[in-house]
Structure 1
């Protein structure tokens, strides 16, 4: 540019509001930014509508662990969850506003679901950005971004107070930031490159503070940073700042979790690290790890109608193809390492629970599924017919092979072990069965959907629009049936089995002790209803029930009168409720010094929550 031309450019008057675009603003930025904002709001609305029936934690013990962690962080009472899985505090930090706003369990819980929805819906703009980087046009990036954000694994778990509501967003954000850090062009300022690297590192560290799956991401991120220095993609100073950010946030997360551990797990945890060590030091253990990890990969392929399978094949090809740019190859290898690490590490640590979900499970890899789905959808829309057919054939082969491994290892256990509806939101829909698991029927249904997607994408005329409509319809149908068939029945059932609000003044009560022999689903629900009470455990087989508490809940053996569950009950203690339920049988005893129930006060105490029927709230 000549000096005169440069001068004329600088001297040009500012753009007017009559339609000229201000300097430095990309074309259509404001237009697509507004559409993304509207789309995000719509995604939030969908999540809130589906979660409207959720009033208590039913995905136990996970939900209870995060809720009680947040309660402790706001100065609330402790709850004894000893000998269970440790639930970390990073996610609980996001829930703190709910505890600042409200002090009643149902209100707190529902605000937590609003927080989930606000964060989970952010998957739309993130997916849009990734699809734009894969050179999909603005419109189709926006449309496929909506499809990705509506994946059942994304929306369904946002109906519960679980890290799974925010981990897909965190993983998506980490990949986008890491891609920007690795591939930023030479003219990008050092400050911006440093920001990309440090931000990616902090996201990974936050995931580590929120869930043990974050350990895998830290290892992968450390490998990427080492490769960046080794191959001189990034200088040591920039990478060093990113490493310092990673260490600082991860260290803060470790301190947070160390603070929570004695307050929620005073008796210790369930020693998942011991499981990991045993599995990785024996041949039988390796068989368990490889087979169960393969089952997790199978689930991702089938649950997305094969599209995540196409994404997985595409990432694998990028990782090994000779012509792939080195930095892109490193990122593809990072994605594969993340998938393998999560699948096999979680399988190694998993205790034997005599449930089908031990062998085929989708939740652990659900944080990576949207990434694979977005890549697979981009291939369907952009690649040549030959490439699409090749990727689809490879996906079919992979689905059949992984299903065969599951069948070989699990065998008849897939029909004999316990079927938990919560574990199978997508495959239940695909087989239209919420009481049994069918491996090959689900495999066939997922591959049929893949065939329909490939066929629809190649129709003459508006094939892309038809594909988007089909995928949105399938996703919404799957998550809606999961809500009506799984979420709401779980809430209705557990509420009727455990709700004591009409029997004793739980708000004024300050302490509750539960017998270890009461099933854990009932125990945690009782801790939840007794929101302002410190919860402790004891084993009635060996330890007398404590007398310095307001309420004691004991297991109720078959054939034993409720009055005989505490034969040496102190004077004045009386039974306030006893129930035999599918979840377990229990009897609640109240101290004579505990606050008595005031029927006229109950309505205002619980914020106007009307009775469901006489005698029950």
Structure 2
């Protein structure tokens, strides 16, 4: 993860006894501080705001915990690896608001775990203890670790999984440890069970383990391959069971779309341009540091004299990043939104690793090398941005702009209702210049200067992310709030952005679907506002309306104290 001119010292061992004890107490305190920051940032979140993704994961967790499921047929399949982490919450809590707040706690704890893992990774790469602690803490404030940690998304845990995986691979390469091999194989396979992009992580894991077997790390490689096989099989079984229960009519076929795209020139153009857009976003969202790290890793892989474990990490991280960018872009449906062309979420899982790589390059190279690496990063940002502008053209202005897709870009441009590729690139380059200037001006004391600049930027982002008021959904995005026990059914004419969130908020039963006439035994029916008068035995509540996209009917034959429905 460093450049050819980087001085690569041997890994620095942790101090024994008292020193080691103080280090772990410091890491624990830092982790707790990172958790507290996230809980404060997302203190007002009481329910899903990113639908259908959050709801899909929450319903999967609820079903795995023995609660009601839902029919999500035709939607993207939300895999079971992440919901499995949430099952303990749903075992004990069924109230959807309380459960969601506890899910935020779980996400905050998992994302904050990237801090001690970043410390371990920096130590493996020869960074001193005090420097590694401060750099890891500043890196742990990165946008990729803040934005998603307060949401019920797989992205809350994937960056931490990837960092742990990198540490395990380094230990396997450095010491041939069977335990490290088993951990690397298990984490790579678990990533596959969490999200489709984890398939790339598993593929890279298998290739890395095979290479280490050839390099005489055989015991560790065999252990890794064996554990990867077992965990991958368990993940496939879990996802198959989950798919059959929650997607009886089948999920959206992203794998089929990927195969179709790869097989044609137009599809290849879409995939490659989208991959370039993801790389552009990765570099811009790490204030240019990922570009520095990418250049450094490529040079390190090419340098045969580099330490083997470091060279392995560089190759693994490059392959994973490029593979995810290409495969996720090829499998992404054209939803006529700007995020189809420039998107940061899929590579957020490697963003901190590349931030650390960029820090290593800036802090451990000579001044000439720092300049060249910065120029390479600037060139890569400009080139990938140029590909996006050329391929997408007017679609960057005419397609739907969803602010949720662009938290870092909004921070860079201060514009919340449109996408400005040039302005975002220019500000990202200015921040990279500040980081580079800190490295050049401080020479031998580059670490504290560069980390200080990074910390200031990340703290500014966190302050900008801090909620000014509770997140509010509007229009059809805010479903009816039902207070009724008993069966609930939704007319198939009701839009998905009403019934999908409703499927989580109705925690006592599975929401049913019907065509025009509510099934017998249903207590509350959610219908489109133009559905007309309710049938005999039903009463309209008057909730909702045309703007909301729904209204409700109540069955008179249900108990009067448990069939009310109200709108917000």
Question: TM over 0.5, yes or no?
Answer: yes
Contact 1:136 1:382 in 2 (8 A): no
Match of 2:483 among 494, 505, 508: 505
CA distance in 1, matches of 2:554, 2:169: 56
**Pairing partner for 1:451 from 433, 437, 440:** 433
C-alpha contact 1:388 1:454 (8 A) present in aligned 2 = yes
Displacement, 1:413? 0.4
Match for residue 510 of structure 2 among 521, 534, 539? 534
Q: Give distance in 1, aligned partners of 2:84 and 2:474.
A: 27
Distance in 1 (CA, whole Å) between partners of 2:348 and 2:483 is: 40
Deviation, 1:555, is 2.3
- 1:396 aligns to what SS in structure 2? helix
**Structure 1 residue 263, shift from structure 2 partner:** 1.8
Q: Deviation of residue 252 (structure 1)? A: 1.0
For the residue of structure 2 that corresponds to 1:84, the secondary structure is coil
Q: Does residue 166 of structure 2 align to residue 175 of structure 1? A: yes
In the alignment, the residues of structure 2 paired with residue 128 and residue 585 of structure 1 have an alpha-carbon distance, to the nearest angstrom, of: 50
Q: Pairwise mapping of residues 232-247 of structure 1 onto structure 2 (< 5 A)?
A: 232-235=215-218, 237-247=219-229
Shift of 1:262: 2.0
Using the alignment, how far apart are the partners of 1:369 and 1:356 within structure 2? 21
In the alignment, which of 177, 188, 212 is matched to residue 228 of structure 1?
212
Q: Which shifted more, 341-350 or 319-328?
A: 319-328
Please give the secondary structure, in 1, of the residue aligned with 2:467.
helix
Per the alignment, residue 396 of structure 1 pairs with 378
For the residues of structure 1 that align with 2:497 and 2:239, how far apart are their CA atoms? 24
Question: C-alpha distance in 1, partners of 2:255/2:295?
Answer: 32
CA deviations 1:210-268 (Å, max 9, x no partner) are 111111111111111111222x3312x44222211111111111111111112211111
Question: How far apart are the structure 1 equivalents of 2:415 and 2:521?
Answer: 48
1:292 pairs with 264, 271, 274, which one? 274
What is the CA–CA distance in structure 2 between the aligned matches of 1:533 and 1:451, rounded to whole Å?
A: 56
Name the CA distance, whole Å, in 2 between partners of 1:498 and 1:332: 45
Partner of 1:572: 538
How far apart, CA to CA, are the structure 2 residues paired with 1:468 and 1:364? 25
1:337 partnered with 2:308: no
Q: Distance in 2 between matches of 1:515 and 1:317?
A: 58
Q: CA deviation at 1:331?
A: 3.0
Instruction: Name the CA distance, whole Å, in 1 between partners of 2:449 and 2:306.
Output: 32
Q: Secondary structure at the match of 2:126?
A: coil
Partner of 2:292: 310
Structure with the greater alpha carbon radius of gyration:
1
SS at match of 2:147: helix
Query: Using CA pairs below 8 Å that are at least 6 residues apart, which structure has the higher relative contact order?
Result: 2
Gaps of at least 5 residues in structure 1 are 1-22, 186-192, 603-614
Q: Distance in 2 between matches of 1:239 and 1:144?
A: 31
1:163-562 equivalent positions in 2, closer than 5 A: 163-184=154-175, 193-230=177-214, 232-235=215-218, 237-460=219-442, 464-484=447-467, 491-494=471-474, 498=478, 500-501=480-481, 504-506=482-484, 508-509=485-486, 511-538=487-514, 540=515, 544-556=517-529, 560=530
5 Å-filtered alignment, 1:28-107, equals: 28-107=19-98
> What secondary structure is seen at the aligned counterpart in 2 of 1:209?
helix
Q: Structure 1 residue 200: deviation in Å?
A: 0.8
| DSSP 3-state at the match of 2:552 | strand
**Greater CA deviation, 466-475 or 362-371?**
466-475
